[in-house]
Amino acid sequence: MDFIACINEKIYPLQSIIALSGTIFISSFFVISKSKAIKKFLIILASISFILAFYLNIYSFISMGDFSNFLTLFETVQMIEVSIILFSALNLLFFISIYKVDSNHFIRILILFLFSTVCAVFVVVARNFLLIFTSLTIFILAIFQLVTALNLKANKVRSYILEYFLRPTLTVILFFFGFSLFYGASDFKDFGQVLQLEYISNPLIVLGLIIFGIAIYLYFFLFPFQGPYMKLIRRGEFSSNAIIWFLYFPVGIFIFMKLDNLYSFFIEKNSIYMSIFFIVITFICIFSSSIGAFKTKSIRRIISFLFLFFISIFILNISMFSTGIISKSLVDWFNIANVLLILFSFIPICSIFSIVEKDTGSDSINNIRGVGRRNIYIGINLVIIFLSWSGFAYHIEPFINYFSGSNLLKMRAGNIILLIAVVIAFLFLMVNIFRIIVQFFRKPIGGVVEKIIFPRFFYIYITFFTLVIIVIAILGLLEVLNIDIGIINFKITQVYF
């Protein structure tokens, strides 16, 4: 046991990566196999390794605490981020297994997927520029190959994949340029060290930060760069879309959170111009994504636009911080809560609509008309999941605290404009939700709609997400209403890292 404990101590904090690497090693012996039994064995092995990695990640952090060296940093935030990536990877394994288990390339796809997850974990724990850059590059490469491999049968998608992945390539190049500027200005290779610099307002650092900002904006395909993303999602297989939604985007969010401290330092210093800039960007992103979702009739596009809407919420959090409505620790908590909200709502929604689309043959919103009447259980689950987005209203509470604490003369116009943006965004979100729900339960045009047969495992899967959402909603409501039932010893609406 001492020997195992010694190894465990040596490889900390990379236990999760070791667990996944073991599965990659075992899978590599079966690459050319087409046997169904081996495929099933590898799916089970990969699932176990994900669960083991998830457990080891949390357990070792609780037993050993924070860790940092020249290359890596592993604190509470990193532990939560790695857990989120492993959780979403486990769900993605479910998507890939359902859609691609009959493919001849399934085991290769599985290895690529495990490798991209390892790269994603490396991106999260990296602190040195060299490791961040290298892992990000290899991660994008792995995701590109994975998406291409998942769309091998769809000939028309290839040029759209090319168009899509040229953007993250540009992001990587801009990161390289930004690192060169940071290195020149500070001789440091770590964002944390740059923050402690004496001459931090150096123009080279400011330029580097602007370049990082542009790079991340391009990475997320926010307005007006959303074209290639929409086109790929519209044409791609559902499994490849899920990879983009639940692996590509969360990693971008975590890179953005690495830069959070630097941005917040500059925001605190130059509040007015930065606030105006962020408020404008927030307005543009939120409105374009909401109107885009409202304008289209394709369900894939609606989900894609709503995804961009939730990505825009990260910019909203930054602008709320820039106008002094929320504190830095609350920004971190809002960001993590937003990632969790995205995962827990979009994963079941995507799985429901993928099966509905497979059954009806088209992704038009008119096709789902009446589906909820015949599949009542799935319909109710979908309504609960959609209504969980109304938790976005919690963004209004800091405004109420702010406005009730200050008199009318001291209120700044920026804060009022931001409040209007939040309220309108919330209204648009509600309109988009009710549009889908009403269509789901509306009377079908041609009389009776046939019942869609969902796999049995699917009911358990959806129920799990619904139950998690209900539990979180009840706990959150009790906290908002100040009722202490003493089940958990921390406030889920205010967690500080």
| Integer Cα distance of 187 and 430 in angstroms | 49
- Beta-bridge partners for 128: 190
Judged by CB, which is closer to other proteins: 229, or 428?
229
Q: Which residues bind other proteins (CB under 8 A)?
A: 129-130, 133-134, 137-138, 140-141, 144-145, 148, 155-156, 158-159, 161-162, 165-167, 169-170, 172-174, 176-177, 179-181, 183-184, 187, 189, 223-227, 229-231, 234-235, 288, 292, 295-296, 301, 304-305
Judged by CB, which is closer to other proteins: 105, or 234?
234
Angle (nearest 5°) at CA 436 between 431 and 441: 120
Q: Determine contact, residues 81/124, Cβ cutoff 8 Å.
A: yes
Residue showing tokens 């073991």: 22
Q: Please, what is the minimum distance in Å from the beta carbon of residue 223 to other proteins? A: 8
**For 65, left (φ over 0), alpha (ψ -120 to 50), or beta?**
left
Q: Please, what is the minimum distance in Å from the beta carbon of residue 225 to other proteins? A: 7
Q: Please, what is the minimum distance in Å from the beta carbon of residue 128 to other proteins? A: 10
Judged by CB, which is closer to other proteins: 128, or 381?
128
Judged by CB, which is closer to other proteins: 229, or 309?
229
Judged by CB, which is closer to other proteins: 81, or 363?
363
Q: Please, what is the minimum distance in Å from the beta carbon of residue 137 to other proteins? A: 4
| Integer Cα distance of 477 and 467 in angstroms | 15
Sign of the torsion formed by the C-alpha atoms of 484, 489, 492 and 496 = positive
Q: Please, what is the minimum distance in Å from the beta carbon of residue 169 to other proteins? A: 6
Task: Give the residue from 390, 347, 370 showing the smallest Cα distance to 448.
Answer: 370
Q: Determine contact, residues 130/189, Cβ cutoff 8 Å.
A: yes
Classify residue 452 as exposed, middle or buried by CB count within 10 Å of its CB (0-12, 13-18, 19+): middle
Task: Give the residue from 201, 145, 174 showing the smallest Cα distance to 255.
Answer: 174
Judged by CB, which is closer to other proteins: 207, or 452?
207
Q: Please, what is the minimum distance in Å from the beta carbon of residue 101 to other proteins? A: 24
Q: Please, what is the minimum distance in Å from the beta carbon of residue 39 to other proteins? A: 25
Q: Please, what is the minimum distance in Å from the beta carbon of residue 454 to other proteins? A: 26
| Integer Cα distance of 313 and 392 in angstroms | 9
- Which residues, including other chains, have CB under 8 Å from residue 112's CB and lie 6 or more apart? 142, 145, 146, 149
Q: Which residues of 181-219 are buried (b: 16+ CB within 10 A; e: fewer)?
A: bbeebbebbbbeebeeeeebebeebeebbebbbebbbbb
Task: Find the DSSP H helices in 12-128.
Answer: 15-27, 36-64, 76-100, 106-125
Judged by CB, which is closer to other proteins: 40, or 295?
295
Q: Please, what is the minimum distance in Å from the beta carbon of residue 136 to other proteins? A: 9
Task: Give the residue from 370, 348, 350 showing the smallest Cα distance to 360.
Answer: 370
- Beta-bridge partners for 216: none
| Integer Cα distance of 71 and 9 in angstroms | 17
Judged by CB, which is closer to other proteins: 92, or 185?
185
Judged by CB, which is closer to other proteins: 39, or 235?
235
In one letter, which amino acid is 149? A
Judged by CB, which is closer to other proteins: 147, or 279?
147
Q: Please, what is the minimum distance in Å from the beta carbon of residue 281 to other proteins? A: 16
Residue showing tokens 């080279």: 204
